[in-house]
Chain A
Amino acid sequence: MDLLGFARGPALRVALAVFCIGVLWRIVGFGLLRLRRDLNKPRASIARFLTRGLITVGSRSWPHPEFIPRTGAGEALGYSYHIGLFIVVLLFAPHVAFIGSLVGFTWPALPSSLITVISVLTLTLFLAVLFRRVTHPVLRMLSNFDDYFSWFVTALVLVTGLANTAHIGARYETLLALHILSVDLLLVWFPFGKLMHAFYLVPSRAINGALLGRKGAVS
């Protein structure tokens, strides 16, 4: 078996298995802990505070106006590289074909040249994010191995992907194998670190919104 065959064969299967089992365990692991019933009488009806939870999922995507002067730029930076990643992952023709083969349907892709530009921009934003993390006193203090390794495995996917499309450094098959191996690595790491926030984001916002809504407070 050559490197490419290994990367998209057994390595990918193992990575997907670790990803699925790991994600499930990470959620079930704390989901099994007890959930206390709040005995204090709610101010709002159940329908109202559940609605508040759903609204907060969307509204917390951008800071309240009072916070924008201090956090707007940082949050914009964070969201912009996420958007770049989503575009590259979901709208690059080979990715559409690959994901389509797994899910059974495809969708229109963006031109490769545009994807390359977006990838370069996203990688630049990634570097900016890393620079900010190591230079901002708060971020530097909070950061641990998880933060840097999660950055590394995600950036590696972008770099190998760019090298692959630009045919830089090795044969196409080798570059593709390295790109897929980097995805395998990301999938394996995913359940163990902060990348899990992809699964936590919606329920976490919803819970905060619902609990504040229960009190009739702003969320």
Chain B
Amino acid sequence: MSDADVTGAKTPQARVDGAMHGFAQELGALSAFRLESCIHCGICAEACHFYIATEDPQYTPIWKVEPFKQAYKREASPFAPLYRLFGLTREVTAEQLAEWQHLLFDSCNMCGRCSLICPMGIDVAALIEQARHAMFEAGLAPKELYQKAAHQRATGQPEPSAEPYREQLLTIGKRFGIEIPLDQPEAEVLVCVPRTDIEHYPSAVAALARVMQHVGASYTFRSDGLIAENYGYYAGGKSWQRDISLKLIEQAILVKAKTLVVPECGHAYTALRWEAADLYGKALPFKVRHITEFLADELTAGRLKLARADTGKTTFHDPCQLVRKGGVNEAPRALMHALGIELDELKNHGAFSFCCGGGGGVLDIERAAPLRYRTMENKLREIDDTGAVTFVTSCSDCRRTFDDAKAHFTWDKTPHSLLELVANNLIGTGNGA
């Protein structure tokens, strides 16, 4: 088997069986229709930043699910017996699946740009997510994602830390002089926090508490449902994704929350807003709002009062999971408008924005770094071309990816958090500026 990461002691055939079983489990009419509809036009390649950066055909999005397309035709399509009889498609092998690991994980951010270009209207990103589930079942998820998912499922946090995150959260509160309501028995709003912010951007955690306090929200953090990220989603472990989501769902129900606020974390929003109910098995008894949506609502309600931010020429990166895949289109811009910011938009912005390059867990996969940097060059060029002096985004993983690029390329921009920008320009109480 290639240099792919493998988990569990399985025979090659068991891995193929696991992948096929994982894929078949989710093979409904919708995914079958998507697989049936591909006309091999290759146009999806032209939306993918991995292909655009490298011109390497293997990065064509639909090619990333080729083994599963092959398996569908051979095993489950209406003419499957004919495909087998005439040998029109080969059997999927364990070696092939191992080779595909880097296509499904290292070189796909699950950003969904390909799903907007397909002339047949195929949601290629949805197929890739399904293929990741199958790879996980085959024990073929990259080790970084697998280990973090396993740790998060078991302990609530993706990695061990010298001090538990709940303690770090309280420490951040003390350091920034902001009250952190933790483990309140009841609250209207349950707030979770990206571990990226706890570890890398504590000021964003403080900003989160500050804006919640400013709007007078009845809210709480909960020790048993604290972390926003869901490494089960990244690794393709659907049952693990469910278990990790359940930690937040159960806490929200426990405190009788009407709203679960997802902080600046794109994939956490997808996992909770657009996938959690399906995994939970019923509709969630509370609303899920991204922090920018929540604050835009508060702005409309008149509870969020903002001063003009002096940011100079400013541009904004639209996180894929929030905008393209999540539909959070207007809220960030409504907040920036209220801050008096007139954006100099990127050439590709809004739903057509290029991914930062770190999404889908790619930032965590060490061996993927060289390709990720190559892919990011186009994005950084777009940002530079705006001539902006301030660069803002609303996802902490995107922020971390850009910060990493800043160090790697000696790039002269610093990614700022929109949430922090809001928190630093509050009028009245709670303004820490």
- Contact residues of A with B, CB < 8 Å? 25-26, 28-36, 38-41, 43, 56, 60-61, 63-64, 66-67, 70-71, 74-75, 78, 136-147, 192, 194, 196-197, 200-201, 203-209, 211-212, 215-219
List, in ascending order, chain B residues with CB within 8 A of A67's CB. 46-47, 116-117, 352
Question: With contacts A35-B28, A40-B273, A200-B33 known, is A29 near B78, CB below 8 A?
Answer: yes
How many contacts A-B (CB < 8 Å)? 166
Q: How far is the CA of A71 from the CA of B79 in the complex (A)?
A: 32
A40 with B276: CB separation less than 8 A: yes
**Looking at A63, A211, A217, A219, which has the most chain B CB atoms within 10 Å of its CB?**
A217
- The interface-forming segment of B214-222, B318-326, B400-408 is B318-326
Q: CA–CA, A166 to B274, complex, Å? A: 59
Query: Quick check: is B45 within 8 A (CB to CB) of the other chain?
Result: yes
**A120 CB, min distance to chain B CBs, angstroms:** 24
- Given A41-B277, A64-B116, A143-B40, A138 contacting B28 (CB threshold 8 A): no
Q: Is the CB of B29 within 8 A of A56?
A: no
Complex Cα distance A151/B94, Å? 33
Q: Are B117 and A36 touching (Cβ within 8 A)?
A: no
B28 interface neighbour in A33, A61, A136, A137, Cβ under 8 Å: A33
Q: Are A211 and B43 in contact (CB under 8 A)?
A: no
- A71 and B282 CA atoms in complex are apart in Å by 41
- In the bound complex, CA of A189 to CA of B37 (Å): 16
Residues of B within 8 A of A145 (CB): 88
Q: Does chain A have a CB within 8 A of B332?
A: no
Contact with A217, one of B29, B79, B325 (Cβ below 8 angstroms):
B325
Alpha-carbon distance between A52 and B286 when the two chains are bound, in angstroms: 26
**Does B312 sit within 8 A of A, measured CB to CB?**
no
- Determine which residue in A25, A66, A200 has the highest number of CB atoms from chain B within 10 A of its CB, and name it: A66
Q: Which residues of A contact B276 (CB under 8 A)?
A: 40
Please, which residue of chain A has its CB at the minimum distance from the CB of B325? A217
A75-B43, A215-B327, A217-B327 known; A208 and B115 CB under 8 Å?
yes
**Contact of A141 with B46 at beta-carbon distance under 8 Å, contacts A39-B281, A217-B327 already known:** no
Cβ contacts under 8 Å, B47 to chain A: 67
Nearest-Cβ distance from residue B331 to partner chain A, whole angstroms: 11
Q: Does B57 contact A (CB under 8 A)?
A: yes
Q: List B contacts of A147 (CB < 8 A).
A: 40
Contact of A34 among B29, B37, B55 (CB under 8 A): B29
Cβ-based interface call for B123 (8 A) = yes
Q: Is B329 an interface residue (CB 8 A)?
A: yes
Report the minimum CB–CB distance from A17 to chain B (whole Å). 16
- Determine whether the beta carbon of A30 is less than 8 Å from that of B36: yes
Cβ-neighbour of A208 out of B28, B62, B122, B274 (below 8 A): B122
**Residue interface mask B299-315, A partner, CB < 8 A = 1:** 00000000000000000
Identify which of residues 320-363 in chain B touch chain A, using a CB-to-CB cut-off of 8 Å.
323-327, 329, 348, 350-352
Q: Judge whether B42 and A139 touch: CB under 8 Å.
A: yes
Write out the residue numbers on chain B whose beta carbons fall within 8 Å of the beta carbon of A39. Answer: 277-278, 280-283
Q: A64 contacts which of B121, B327, B352 (Cβ < 8 Å)?
A: B352
- Sample of 26 A–B contacts (CB below 8 Å): A30-B29, A33-B27, A40-B275, A40-B276, A43-B327, A63-B43, A63-B119, A64-B116, A66-B352, A67-B117, A70-B52, A140-B57, A142-B40, A145-B88, A197-B39, A200-B120, A205-B120, A207-B33, A208-B121, A209-B121, A212-B123, A215-B274, A215-B325, A215-B326, A217-B351, A219-B116
Across the interface, A216 reaches (CB within 8 A) one of B42, B120, B327, B352, namely B327
Contacts of B117 in A (CB 8 A): 63-64, 67, 71
Contact with A along B14-50 (1 / 0, CB 8 A): 0000000000000111101110110111110111000
Complex CA gap A43/B326 in Å reads: 10
Bound complex: CA A137 to CA B4 (Å): 25
Chain A residues, CB < 8 A from B58: 141
A36–B30 CB distance below 8 A? yes
Shortest Cβ distance from residue A158 to the other chain B in the assembled complex, whole angstroms: 19
- By a CB distance below 8 angstroms, the chain A residues around B36 are 26, 30, 196, 200
C-alpha spacing A56/B120, complex, angstroms: 10
Specify which of A63, A140, A218 is in contact with B350 (CB 8 Å cutoff): A218
Q: Is the CB of A218 within 8 A of B116?
A: yes
Cβ of B77 < 8 Å from any Cβ of A? yes
How far, in whole Å, are A203 and B276 apart by their CA atoms in the complex?
27
B259 contacts partner chain A, Cβ-Cβ < 8 Å: no
Contacts of B324 in A (CB 8 A): 217-218
